[in-house]
Structure 1
Amino acid sequence: MLRRAVALMFAFAVTQAHAITVTDDSGASVTLAKPAERVVSLAPHVTELLFAAGGGGRIVGAVTFSDYPKEAQAIPRVGDNKALDLERIVALHPDLIVVWRHGNASRQMDRLHALGVPIYFSEPKHLDDIAASIGKLGALLGTQEQAHASADAFTRDIAQLRARYAQRPRVSVFYQVWDDPLMTLNRDHVFDEVIGLCGGVNVFATEKPRVPTISTEAVLAANPEAIVTSTPGATQPDRQLPGLERWKRWTSMTAVARGNLFGIDGDLINRPTPRLASGAEALCRDLEVARGRRGK
């Protein structure tokens, strides 16, 4: 009995010594006894982060629009951001579930917690958080080497853009998220940081909440030098993304008068993943075009 007890204590000590613990984006600790081998991703950006971290081959279930990289399109679907197929998730026997804190319904989150499977909440709010998220997911997957390489590449790309554009003359920017109702982003969203690194200024940075609804009159009063929105990328939405045609009637607004109405692939600017560096590069180029149109 004593020998068996000692053996069990030793086994427990080894397990504890090799346990993996990280802090997710909600501030909670996530602990795994060993690297995850069967992961369910409950947001498209999560799927991209898992692939970047070297764990694409371990994703056994994902939600609709998890379409990047191409290999992600073959992963079995377990619902979308509105409804999850909880029975199918259980049937996949995951040892880690990665969710989008504000994209998945709280009632379903409660049911997921009841499964007893470790849950990692993912919602990067800053550019540095994207690299950190890749590293943390890599730790949970045991794929640290690839994760660190991906995180370092993203950090390097962002640093290069910041060095090139952040000190350029300021360009006031209105980012249109949606047109009916008219919506934008405040300074608490990662894309506000992208605007800043390109030398832009978000004209609605101080609005509340994080995705505030505004009026046409507010945009006219702000008189932005550039208006930017997302355009359909590989992800085709349920309905047409908002366009910028509505603003062309306001010919006295600076952005319209100078032709500074820009659309960028939504897949590159709406997901907090390494591809945001490509979206940032596109925005930086557009704002440089806006600077070139001054005085003409």
Structure 2
Amino acid sequence: MKSIMKKLTSIVLVLLMFFTLITGCTPKEESPNKEENPITSEESSQIYPMEVEDGFGNKVTIEKQPTKIISLAPSHTEILFALGLDNEVVGVSTYCIYPEEANAKEKVGDAFNVNIEKILELNPDLVIQYGPGKEDVNNKIRNAGIALLSYEPESIDSVINLIEEIGKITNTMIQAKSVTVDMMSKRDYITNKVSKVEEKAKVFFEIWDEPLQAAGPGSFIDELIRLSGGENIASDAEGPYAQFDLEQLIERNPDVYLMSKDLETKTIESVKSRPGFSEINAIKNDRIYMLDPLISIPGPRIVDGLEIVAKSIYPELFEKK
């Protein structure tokens, strides 16, 4: 029973990394001024109805400009607020805690337990969810005449594309372009910095400790490590969040050991004291870091996550001179 509970806990924590984890983050940037992109009724009538194909191939008709939107994922909530749609967002998931204003919105459950009654009560024009969602919940939303879009971006480029897509759907293209240009500029600045590295640092990112799980191929973390100029020693693991043997960890001997601040009980000292870990270079050289959970949220701040990872791997490249 104890091993089963550990496995279930592990699975839940892995999923929570996508729907955001705890703790506050960086201060909110100013939202773009909506007056820069005023929308007249004539312009709106020329854009809508709009045919959209979401990230899972579902074809959806957006009848009119959405004025009441529900987001079922922290990443989508951050995108909507970044586009200046503060007033249009009427409901969010339990895990949507950034920006601070999201906390004041109606809560409609989370990815595991959607409060369909609350959603129907809010009567939104549009619901945006992360992943394919549950079929029974999807059907109830659609049968109520509510447009439902599902997205699951898996890279920085796909996040940028999604922001532009949501900008088109909500008629906030100018704001979307501003956000994505800033993101690309920051990404290019960071990748240019680390391009000067001659020998790549070997990096391991811990998802969970019992059993040990690594960020493997296909995960956002794997991309962030690669773009940061590091070598992910779990790049050949069986999946994005795969079990990783301690013997293999010691043999591959990472120079940098990364984790997310997801549990109060997980500390740098507790990791250092694990059996066998004293043999690892990252532990010997105090190159073990606990990072802000935003590194796993596929929204506008994912480039901030890239910067956090890059500074952890090559802090000397970012020191002010």
* Aligned AA (1:199): G
State whether structure 2 residue 62 is matched by structure 1 residue 32: yes
Can you list the C-alpha shifts for 1:2-60, whole angstroms capped at 9, x where unaligned? xxxxxxxxxxxx96863223432223333312221111110111111111223222111
Alignment of 1:253-272 (within 5 A): 253-266=280-293, 268-272=294-298
* Compared CA separation, residues 17 and 280, structure 1 to 2 (3 A): closer
Tell whether 2:121 aligns with 1:95.
no
Indicate how the Cα distance of structure 1 residues 286 and 17 shifts in structure 2: closer, same or farther if over 3 A, else same. closer
**Equivalent residue, structure 1, for 2:306:** 280
SS at match of 2:314: helix
Note the residue ranges of structure 2 that are not aligned, 5 or more in a row.
1-43
The equivalent of 1:174 in structure 2 is: 204
The Cα of 1:225 is off from its aligned counterpart by: 1.1
**Equivalent pair of 1:20/1:35 in contact (CA under 8 Å):** no
1:7 is aligned to: none
> Does 2:225 correspond to 1:195?
yes
The correspondence for 2:271, drawn from 242, 246, 262, is 246
Equivalent pair of 1:125/1:188 in contact (CA under 8 Å) = yes
Distance change (3 Å), C-alpha of 1:215 and 1:182:
same
Residue of structure 2 equivalent to 1:144: 173
In the TM superposition, residue 160 of structure 1 has moved relative to its aligned partner by 0.9
Q: Which amino acid aligns with 2:284?
A: A
Q: Is 1:134 equivalent to 2:159 in the alignment?
A: no
1:84 pairs with 2:111: no
Aligned length: 271
Give the equivalent residue in structure 2 for 1:116: 145
Structure whose alpha-carbon radius of gyration is higher = 1
- The residue type equivalent to 1:220 in the other structure is I
Q: CA 1:184–1:110 in 2, change beyond 3 Å: closer, same or farther? A: farther
In the TM superposition, what are the counterparts of 1:52-63 in structure 2 within 5 Å? 52-63=82-93
TM-score by length of 1: 0.84
Q: Give yes or no for contact 1:225–1:290 (8 Å, CA) kept in 2.
A: no
Alignment-derived partner of residue 212 in structure 1: 242
Secondary structure of 2:278's counterpart equals coil
- Give the root-mean-square deviation of aligned CA atoms: 2.4
How many Å separate the matches in 2 of 1:48 and 1:130? 12
- Check if 1:154 corresponds to 2:179: no
User: Aligned partners of 1:225, 1:291: CA distance in 2, in Å?
Assistant: 16
SS of 2:304's equivalent in the other structure is helix
Partners of 1:87 and 1:191 lie apart in 2 by: 35
Name the structure 2 match of 1:228. 258
Q: Which amino acid aligns with 1:215?
A: D
SS at match of 1:56: coil
Do 1:61 and 1:76's aligned partners in 2 also have CA atoms closer than 8 Å?
yes
CA contact 2:52–2:62 (8 Å) conserved in 1 = no
The alpha carbon displacement at 1:106 in A equals: 4.4
Show structure 1 runs of 5+ residues with no match: 1-13, 233-238
Shift of 1:98: 0.3
Distance (whole Å) between structure 2 residues aligned to residue 208 and residue 113 of structure 1:
36
Secondary structure of the residue aligned to 1:224 is: coil
Letter in 1 for 2:238: K
Report the CA distance shift for 1:54/1:223 in structure 2 as closer, same or farther (over 3 A). Answer: same
Q: Secondary structure at the match of 1:152?
A: helix
| Contact 1:22 1:136 survives alignment (8 Å) | no
Q: Which gives a bigger RCO, structure 1 or 2 (Cα 8 Å, sep 6+)?
A: 2
| Counterpart for residue 16 of structure 2 | none
Q: Which residue in 2 is equivalent to 1:64? A: 94
Tell me the CA shift for residue 107 of structure 1.
4.0
Distance in 2, matches of 1:178 and 1:258, equals: 22
CA 85–18 in structure 1, closer or farther in 2 if over 3 Å, else same: closer
Which letter does structure 1 place at the counterpart of 2:295? I
Of the structure 1 ranges 64-73 and 203-212, higher mean CA displacement relative to structure 2 is found in 203-212
Q: Residues 220 and 296 of structure 2 are in contact (CA less than 8 Å); yes or no, is this contact kept in structure 1?
A: no
